[in-house]
Amino acid sequence: MKPKIAAQSGTFESSDVIFLIEPLPDNAGRKLEISSTVMQQFGSSFNRIVEDMLDHYEMTDIHLIAKDKGALEPTIKARLETAIKRSLELQEGTVK
Amino acid sequence: MIRNSKKRRTMLYIPGNNPAMIQQGGIYGADSILLDLEDAVALNQKDAARTLVRNMIKVVDFYDAEICVRVNHLSTPFGLADLEEIVPLQPSAIRYPKTESPEEVAELLRIIEKIEDRHGLPHNKMTLHAMIETAMGVQNVFNIASMFSRVDAITIGGQDLTADMNIIYTPDGLGIDFARKRIVMAAKASHIDVIDTIFPDVNDEEGLRKETEYAKKIGFTGKAVINPRQIDIIHEVFTPTEEEIRKAYRIVKEFRANIADGIGVFAIDGKMVDAPVVARAEYILRLANVEVVTGS
Chain A residues whose CB is inside 8 A of the B48 CB are: 9-10, 78-79, 82, 94
Instruction: Judge if B218 and B248 occupy the same domain.
Output: no
Looking at the domain A7-87, which fold is it? Ribosomal Protein S5; domain 2 (3.30.230)
| pLDDT computed for residue B1 by the predictor | 46
Examine residue B58 and state whether it is found in any structural domain, yes or no.
yes
Q: What average pLDDT does range B35-63 have in this prediction? A: 96
Question: Residue A12: its chain B contacts at CB < 8 A?
Answer: none
Residue of B19, B48, B79 with shortest CB distance to A82: B48
Q: Please indicate, yes or no, whether residues B46 and B134 belong to a single structural domain of this protein.
A: yes
Q: Which residues pair with A21 in a beta bridge?
A: A7, A64
Are A94 and B23 a contacting pair at CB < 8 A? no
Average pLDDT of every residue of chain B: 93
pLDDT of res. B5: 55
Which pLDDT score, from 0 to 100, does residue B2 have?
Answer: 47
Name every residue whose Cβ is closer than 8 Å to that of residue B131 and which is 6 or more positions away in sequence.
B70, B95, B96, B97, B98, B99, B137, B154, B155, B156, B157
Percent of chain B with pLDDT over 90: 79
In three-state form (DSSP H/G/I as H, E/B as E, the rest C), the secondary structure along chain B is: CCCCCCCCCEEEEEECCCHHHHHHHHHHCCCEEEEECCCCCCHHHHHHHHHHHHHHHHHCCCCCCEEEEECCCCCCCCHHHHHHHHHHHCCCEEEECCCCCHHHHHHHHHHHHHHHHHCCCCCCCCEEEEEECCHHHHHCHHHHHHCCCCEEEEEECHHHHHHHCCCCCCCCCHHHHHHHHHHHHHHHHHCCEEEECCCCCCCCHHHHHHHHHHHHHHCCCEEEECCHHHHHHHHHHHCCCHHHHHHHHHHHHHHHHHHHCCCCCEEECCEEECHHHHHHHHHHHHHCCCCCCCCC
Confidence of residue B160 (pLDDT cuts 50, 70, 90): very high
- pTM here is 0.90
Q: How far apart are CA B70 and CA B54, in angstroms?
A: 12
Cα separation, B189 vs B154, whole angstroms: 12
Q: Which of B17, B51, B56 to mutate to test the interface with A (most CBs of A within 10 A)?
A: B51
- The reply to whether B50 and B18 lie within a common domain is yes
Answer whether residue B219 is part of any domain: yes
Q: What is the mean pLDDT of chain A?
A: 93
User: Are B25 and B159 in the same domain?
Assistant: yes
pLDDT digits (tens, 9 = 90+) for B263-294: 878 888 888 888 888 988 998 888 888 888 87
Instruction: Find the angle CA(B64)-CA(B110)-CA(B33) to the nearest 5 degrees.
Output: 20
B9 at A interface, C-beta within 8 A: no
Write out chain A residues lying below 8 Å of B49, CB-based.
Answer: none
C-alpha distance from B106 to closest chain A C-alpha (Å): 22
What is the predicted pLDDT for the residue at B133? Answer: 97
pLDDT at B153: 96
- List CB contacts (< 8 A) between B77 and chain A: 93-95
Question: Is residue B57 included in any domain, yes or no?
Answer: yes
Q: Is A89 on the interface with B (CB under 8 A)?
A: no
Contact B23/A at CB under 8 A: yes
pLDDT of residue A21: 96
Same domain? For B275 and B148 the reply is: no
Q: Tell me the nearest-neighbour CA distance from B230 into chain A, angstroms.
A: 23
pLDDT (0 to 100) of residue B274 = 86
The predicted-structure confidence for B226-255, as pLDDT tens digits, reads as follows 999 999 999 999 988 899 999 999 999 988
Tell me: pLDDT of B23 over 90.
yes
CB within 8 Å: A94 and B20: no
Residue B196 or B259, more confident: B196
Edge to edge, the sheet with strand A7-9 lists: A7-9, A17-23, A62-68, A30-36
Which of B19, B46, B56 is closest, CB to CB, to A16?
A: B19
Provide the domain limits for residue B130: 10-238
**Residue B144 within any structural domain of the chain:** yes
Name the band, by pLDDT with cuts 50, 70 and 90, for residue A91: confident
Task: Give B78→chain A minimum CA distance, Å.
Answer: 4
pLDDT > 80? residue A94: no
Are B199 and B260 part of one and the same domain? Answer: no
Residues B194 and B250 in one domain: no
Task: Please compute the mean of the pLDDT values over residues B18-23 and round it to a whole number.
Answer: 97
Q: Which range among B14-18, B40-44, B186-190, B282-286 shows the weakest confidence by mean pLDDT?
A: B282-286
State whether B108 and B84 are in the same domain.
Answer: yes
Quick check: B4 pLDDT over 70? Answer: no
B69 within domain boundaries: yes
> How many structural domains compose chain B?
2
What pLDDT score was predicted for residue A33?
95
* Domain extent listing, chain A: 7-87
Confidence of residue B64 (pLDDT cuts 50, 70, 90): confident
| Contact with chain A for residue B71, Cβ under 8 A | no
In a domain, B3, yes or no: no
Verify that B103 and B41 share a domain, yes or no: yes
B176 in any annotated domain = yes
Residues 14-43 of A with CB under 8 A from B: 14-16
CATH of the domain at B54: 3.20.20.60
